[in-house]
Amino acid sequence: MEYRPLQEASEAELVRLAQERNQDAFAELMQRNASMSFRLALSILKNRQEAEDEVQTSFLKAWVSLPLFKAESKFSTWFRTIVHNQSLMSLRKSRRATLTSLDEPDEDGRTREVAGAEPGPEVTLGQNQLSGHLKTEVQRLPPLLRDVLVLRDLEQVSTEEAAARLGISEAAVKSRLMRARSTLRERMERHVRSSGASA
Protein backbone atom coordinates (compact mmCIF):
# COMPACT_ATOMS: atom_id res chain seq x y z
CA MET A 1 0.00 0.00 0.00
CA GLU A 2 1.36 3.41 -0.99
CA TYR A 3 2.18 5.62 1.98
CA ARG A 4 0.13 8.77 2.26
CA PRO A 5 0.94 11.58 4.74
CA LEU A 6 -1.62 11.94 7.51
CA GLN A 7 -2.11 15.56 6.48
CA GLU A 8 -3.67 14.25 3.26
CA ALA A 9 -5.88 11.65 4.94
CA SER A 10 -9.62 12.13 5.20
CA GLU A 11 -11.30 12.65 8.55
CA ALA A 12 -12.77 9.15 8.37
CA GLU A 13 -9.34 7.63 7.76
CA LEU A 14 -7.84 9.54 10.67
CA VAL A 15 -10.66 8.46 12.97
CA ARG A 16 -10.17 4.81 12.03
CA LEU A 17 -6.44 5.03 12.71
CA ALA A 18 -6.93 6.94 15.95
CA GLN A 19 -9.43 4.34 17.17
CA GLU A 20 -6.65 1.81 16.65
CA ARG A 21 -4.68 4.06 19.06
CA ASN A 22 -2.51 5.68 16.39
CA GLN A 23 -1.18 8.71 18.25
CA ASP A 24 -0.12 10.65 15.15
CA ALA A 25 -3.57 10.31 13.60
CA PHE A 26 -5.18 11.61 16.78
CA ALA A 27 -2.77 14.55 16.86
CA GLU A 28 -3.73 15.40 13.28
CA LEU A 29 -7.44 15.32 14.19
CA MET A 30 -6.78 17.68 17.09
CA GLN A 31 -4.73 19.97 14.86
CA ARG A 32 -7.58 20.25 12.37
CA ASN A 33 -10.09 21.05 15.11
CA ALA A 34 -7.91 23.30 17.27
CA SER A 35 -9.07 26.73 16.12
CA MET A 36 -12.75 25.78 16.17
CA SER A 37 -12.55 24.25 19.63
CA PHE A 38 -10.60 27.16 21.10
CA ARG A 39 -13.02 29.77 19.70
CA LEU A 40 -15.97 27.80 21.07
CA ALA A 41 -14.45 27.49 24.55
CA LEU A 42 -13.47 31.16 24.52
CA SER A 43 -16.97 32.26 23.52
CA ILE A 44 -18.37 30.48 26.58
CA LEU A 45 -15.69 31.17 29.18
CA LYS A 46 -14.57 34.66 28.08
CA ASN A 47 -11.13 33.88 29.48
CA ARG A 48 -8.19 32.80 27.33
CA GLN A 49 -6.37 30.70 29.93
CA GLU A 50 -9.55 28.90 31.01
CA ALA A 51 -10.43 28.24 27.38
CA GLU A 52 -7.00 26.73 26.72
CA ASP A 53 -7.31 24.58 29.85
CA GLU A 54 -10.72 23.24 28.85
CA VAL A 55 -9.58 22.49 25.30
CA GLN A 56 -6.73 20.45 26.78
CA THR A 57 -9.21 18.60 29.01
CA SER A 58 -11.45 18.00 26.00
CA PHE A 59 -8.50 16.46 24.15
CA LEU A 60 -8.14 14.02 27.03
CA LYS A 61 -11.82 13.11 27.03
CA ALA A 62 -11.80 12.65 23.26
CA TRP A 63 -8.85 10.26 23.43
CA VAL A 64 -10.42 8.21 26.20
CA SER A 65 -13.83 8.02 24.54
CA LEU A 66 -12.68 7.61 20.93
CA PRO A 67 -13.33 3.85 20.87
CA LEU A 68 -16.99 4.69 21.58
CA PHE A 69 -17.27 7.15 18.69
CA LYS A 70 -19.74 6.09 16.01
CA ALA A 71 -19.19 7.14 12.41
CA GLU A 72 -22.82 8.22 11.96
CA SER A 73 -21.76 11.76 12.83
CA LYS A 74 -18.70 13.79 11.88
CA PHE A 75 -15.76 13.74 14.27
CA SER A 76 -15.67 17.55 14.29
CA THR A 77 -19.31 17.67 15.41
CA TRP A 78 -18.68 15.09 18.11
CA PHE A 79 -15.59 16.87 19.40
CA ARG A 80 -17.37 20.23 19.34
CA THR A 81 -19.99 18.72 21.67
CA ILE A 82 -17.26 17.60 24.07
CA VAL A 83 -15.70 21.07 24.12
CA HIS A 84 -19.10 22.73 24.55
CA ASN A 85 -20.10 20.50 27.47
CA GLN A 86 -16.68 20.74 29.10
CA SER A 87 -16.72 24.54 28.89
CA LEU A 88 -20.21 24.79 30.33
CA MET A 89 -19.24 22.43 33.15
CA SER A 90 -16.24 24.62 33.94
CA LEU A 91 -18.39 27.73 33.86
CA ARG A 92 -20.87 26.27 36.32
CA LYS A 93 -18.12 24.96 38.55
CA SER A 94 -16.45 28.34 38.81
CA ARG A 95 -19.83 30.03 39.27
CA ARG A 96 -19.04 32.43 36.48
CA ALA A 97 -22.64 32.56 35.34
CA THR A 98 -22.07 35.69 33.30
CA LEU A 99 -23.12 34.48 29.90
CA THR A 100 -22.71 37.97 28.49
CA SER A 101 -22.57 38.18 24.75
CA LEU A 102 -19.27 39.35 23.34
CA ASP A 103 -21.03 42.15 21.50
CA GLU A 104 -23.01 43.43 24.49
CA PRO A 105 -21.79 46.91 25.57
CA ASP A 106 -20.17 47.25 28.96
CA GLU A 107 -20.98 49.94 31.53
CA ASP A 108 -19.12 52.55 29.47
CA GLY A 109 -21.02 51.66 26.33
CA ARG A 110 -18.05 49.99 24.70
CA THR A 111 -18.29 46.67 22.94
CA ARG A 112 -16.57 43.80 24.69
CA GLU A 113 -13.66 42.30 22.81
CA VAL A 114 -11.64 39.16 23.30
CA ALA A 115 -8.17 39.61 21.91
CA GLY A 116 -6.57 36.94 19.80
CA ALA A 117 -9.44 34.50 19.33
CA GLU A 118 -7.06 31.87 18.05
CA PRO A 119 -5.29 29.15 20.03
CA GLY A 120 -2.04 30.31 21.57
CA PRO A 121 1.30 28.52 21.46
CA GLU A 122 0.35 26.50 24.52
CA VAL A 123 -2.48 24.81 22.65
CA THR A 124 -0.42 24.35 19.48
CA LEU A 125 2.41 22.79 21.46
CA GLY A 126 -0.05 20.63 23.31
CA GLN A 127 -1.46 19.25 20.08
CA ASN A 128 1.95 17.97 19.05
CA GLN A 129 2.69 16.30 22.38
CA LEU A 130 -0.66 15.53 23.93
CA SER A 131 -1.67 12.31 22.19
CA GLY A 132 1.33 10.37 23.49
CA HIS A 133 0.91 11.80 26.97
CA LEU A 134 -2.82 11.01 26.99
CA LYS A 135 -2.20 7.41 26.07
CA THR A 136 0.34 7.07 28.87
CA GLU A 137 -1.94 8.61 31.48
CA VAL A 138 -5.01 6.64 30.44
CA GLN A 139 -3.06 3.40 30.56
CA ARG A 140 -1.74 4.31 33.99
CA LEU A 141 -5.24 4.86 35.35
CA PRO A 142 -6.32 1.75 37.32
CA PRO A 143 -9.00 -0.24 35.45
CA LEU A 144 -11.49 0.17 38.30
CA LEU A 145 -11.24 3.94 38.02
CA ARG A 146 -11.13 3.98 34.23
CA ASP A 147 -14.29 1.87 33.91
CA VAL A 148 -16.27 4.28 36.08
CA LEU A 149 -14.89 7.31 34.24
CA VAL A 150 -15.90 5.91 30.85
CA LEU A 151 -19.41 5.03 31.98
CA ARG A 152 -20.20 8.25 33.82
CA ASP A 153 -18.31 10.96 31.92
CA LEU A 154 -18.13 9.50 28.44
CA GLU A 155 -21.17 7.28 28.01
CA GLN A 156 -23.12 9.66 30.28
CA VAL A 157 -24.95 6.85 32.10
CA SER A 158 -26.49 7.46 35.51
CA THR A 159 -24.80 6.54 38.76
CA GLU A 160 -27.42 3.85 39.27
CA GLU A 161 -26.81 2.29 35.85
CA ALA A 162 -23.03 2.44 36.25
CA ALA A 163 -23.32 0.68 39.60
CA ALA A 164 -25.50 -2.04 38.05
CA ARG A 165 -23.13 -2.60 35.14
CA LEU A 166 -20.06 -2.81 37.35
CA GLY A 167 -21.71 -4.74 40.16
CA ILE A 168 -20.77 -2.20 42.81
CA SER A 169 -22.67 0.22 45.03
CA GLU A 170 -23.63 3.71 43.95
CA ALA A 171 -21.42 5.08 46.71
CA ALA A 172 -18.48 3.19 45.21
CA VAL A 173 -19.23 4.62 41.78
CA LYS A 174 -19.18 8.17 43.16
CA SER A 175 -15.99 7.55 45.10
CA ARG A 176 -14.14 5.98 42.17
CA LEU A 177 -15.32 8.68 39.77
CA MET A 178 -14.05 11.39 42.08
CA ARG A 179 -10.68 9.65 42.35
CA ALA A 180 -10.45 9.11 38.58
CA ARG A 181 -11.21 12.75 37.79
CA SER A 182 -8.81 13.98 40.44
CA THR A 183 -6.01 11.70 39.27
CA LEU A 184 -6.36 12.70 35.62
CA ARG A 185 -6.64 16.39 36.46
CA GLU A 186 -3.54 16.33 38.63
CA ARG A 187 -1.52 14.47 36.03
CA MET A 188 -2.61 16.78 33.21
CA GLU A 189 -1.89 19.89 35.28
CA ARG A 190 1.53 18.51 36.14
CA HIS A 191 2.18 17.85 32.46
CA VAL A 192 1.11 21.37 31.45
CA ARG A 193 3.30 22.92 34.16
CA SER A 194 6.32 20.85 33.19
CA SER A 195 5.81 21.67 29.50
CA GLY A 196 5.63 25.35 30.31
CA ALA A 197 8.74 25.22 32.47
CA SER A 198 10.75 23.54 29.76
CA ALA A 199 9.54 25.88 27.01
Amino acid making up residue 54:
E
Whether residue 84 is found in the same domain as residue 20: yes
Beta-ladder partners of 111: 105
* Mean pLDDT over each residue of the chain, to the nearest integer: 75
Q: Output the pTM of the full model.
A: 0.53
Whether residue 129 is found in the same domain as residue 192: no
Residue 18 has pLDDT above 90, yes or no: no
Q: What mean pLDDT is predicted for residues 8-15?
A: 90
Whether residue 134 is found in the same domain as residue 179: no
CA distance 109 to 14: 47
Contact status, residue 83 vs residue 40, Cβ threshold 8 Å = yes
CA distance 96 to 63: 28
- CATH number for the domain spanning 179: value is 1.10.10.10
CA distance 50 to 38: 10
Whether residue 132 is found in the same domain as residue 153: no
State how many domains the chain has. Answer: 2
Output the DSSP codes for the chain.
-----GGGS-HHHHHHHHHTT-HHHHHHHHHHHHHHHHHHHHHHH--HHHHHHHHHHHHHHHHHHGGG--TTS-HHHHHHHHHHHHHHHHHHHTT------TTSB-TTSPBP--S--S--HHHHHHHHHHHHHHHHHHHHS-HHHHHHHIIIIIS---HHHHHHHHTS-HHHHHHHHHHHHHHHHHHHHHHHHHHHHH-
What is the model's pLDDT at position 22?
82
**pLDDT digit string, tens, across residues 74-92:** 899 999 999 999 899 888 8
Q: What mean pLDDT is predicted for residues 144-156?
A: 79
**pLDDT digit string, tens, across residues 29-71:** 888 998 899 999 999 998 988 888 888 888 878 877 887 788 7
Contact status, residue 125 vs residue 55, Cβ threshold 8 Å = no
* Minimum mean pLDDT range among 115-124, 138-147, 180-189: 115-124
What is the model's pLDDT at position 21?
73
Whether residue 132 is found in the same domain as residue 171: no
What is the model's pLDDT at position 164?
95
Whether residue 90 is found in the same domain as residue 149: no
Residue 108 resides in a domain: no
